Amino acid sequence: MAESPTILVIGPRWVGDMVMAQCLFSALKELHPNAAIDVLAPAWAAPLVKRMPELRQQIDFPLKPGALEFTIRRRFGRLLRGRYDMAYVLPGSWKSALIPFFARIPRRFGNLREMRYGLLTDIVPLPEAVKRRTAQAYFGLAQGGHFRPPQLTVDASNQGELLARFDLQPGKFVAMMPGAEFGPAKRWPSESYAGLAREMMAKGFRVALFGSKNDRDVTAEIAALAPGVVDLAGKTRLEDAIDLIAAARLAVSNDSGLMHVAAAVGTPIVAVYGSTSPENTPPLAEQRELIWLHLSCSPCHQKTCPLGHLNCLKTLDVAKVAAAADRLLELPAVA
């Protein structure tokens, strides 16, 4: 093994998973302090990669999600030949292991998943207990080192400019992330978020809504029901959201990528769960409250409610989430 190995990581395609992947990156850097670690990931991941000091660079993934395109993977893999000593494949699909294989990277680590014998040189066991625990599963691929929660760096200059632009004061606003790319079974209703926003504003906090352009319909509903909120959905880049959420006194979120961002910048977080479980993908934050009703039908891990009622979220009272928020607000602010 080279003293300064070059490592390629085949990264995940979701924001939250990419944040949790930092548990692996930090472990690899501990095991190989002089390693150069690159991650192959969609273009959107570049801002996240820049906030992870363990990584050297992000390489744009050439394909759309779900596409096999065997020939393109083979061609892309050949372009990478001779550049890496080791590869770590985070997604569990067979096709995800093709590029390191065609790149002829000597050591290729990953879980077996879709029968990837031959594509991987080092099949890492995946205990049943951590199959859905994404951060722990990623960390396990390192087979050593210490588990560290994700920690994203913050650009203080960009943060200051954004706070001034949107008329927000550090520590004086609550960040709410009401969207969820996975599907509606992860989304606490808009009227519930609006009720919580009104309570937070009554306490003297401003409320800022974060999300992508795909969340605009949801945030617009909340803004209409809670006049005075600052609707930033689709108005900020991912790196901007990182910096602004880091300045919030508190964050409230569904189980989403921005939930993990909030945890990784040290913002106290109230995390609301419906179709998924906080036992599997909790925000890895020191100050957190995990809200889950423990209904017999959840977690179902479905994008839409298979029973059609969405009781795991619709019957979650605003008062319960507000009480969790109050408990975090009573704690000393994170430095």
Give Cα separations from 58 to 7, 54, 55, 61, 327 (angstroms).
12, 12, 8, 9, 39
| Cα dihedral: 221, 224, 228, 232 (round 10) | 30
What confidence category does residue 182 fall into, taking pLDDT thresholds of 50, 70 and 90?
Answer: low
Burial class (CB in 10 A: 0-12, 13-18, 19+), 28: buried
Yes or no: say if 10 and 40 are a contact pair by the CB < 8 Å rule.
Answer: yes
Among the listed residues 179, 210, 155, 147, the one whose alpha carbon sits nearest the alpha carbon of residue 21: 147
Q: Distances in Å between the alpha carbon of 298 and those of 144, 278, 280, 301, 307? A: 34, 11, 13, 8, 11
For the question of whether the overall pTM of this predicted structure is more than 0.85, the answer is yes
**For residue 173, which of 18, 57, 333 has the smallest C-alpha distance?**
333
The pLDDT tens digits of the residues spanning 227-271 come to 999 999 999 999 999 999 999 999 999 999 999 999 999 999 999
Phi, psi of 39 (to 5 degrees): -125, 130
**15's tokens:** 């924001």
Q: Which tokens belong to 74?
A: 């083979």
- Concatenating the DSSP letter of every residue in 224-245 gives HHSTT-EE-TTTS-HHHHHHHH
Query: Residue 112 in contact with residue 127, Cβ under 8 Å?
Result: no
Most distant CA atoms of the chain, gap in Å: 60
Domains of the chain: 6-140 (3.40.50.2000), 157-329 (3.40.50.2000)
Q: Can you tell me which residue has the tokens 């930090």?
A: 26
Residue 335's pLDDT band, with cuts at 50, 70 and 90, is low
How far is Cα 153 from Cα 264, in angstroms, rounded to an integer? 9
The secondary structure of 162-194 as a DSSP string is HHHHTT--TTSEEEEE---TT-GGG---HHHHH
Hey, what are 303's tokens? 């994008």
C-alpha 255/C-alpha 276 separation (Å) is 8
pLDDT above 60 for 316: yes
**Tell me, what's the pLDDT at 224?**
97
Is residue 96 pLDDT above 90, yes or no?
Answer: yes
Which pair of tokens denotes residue 169? 């004061």
Using a pLDDT cut of 90, give the percent of the chain over it.
79
Round to whole Å and give the CA distance between 279 and 129: 11
pLDDT in tens, 22-52: 999 999 999 999 999 999 999 999 999 999 9
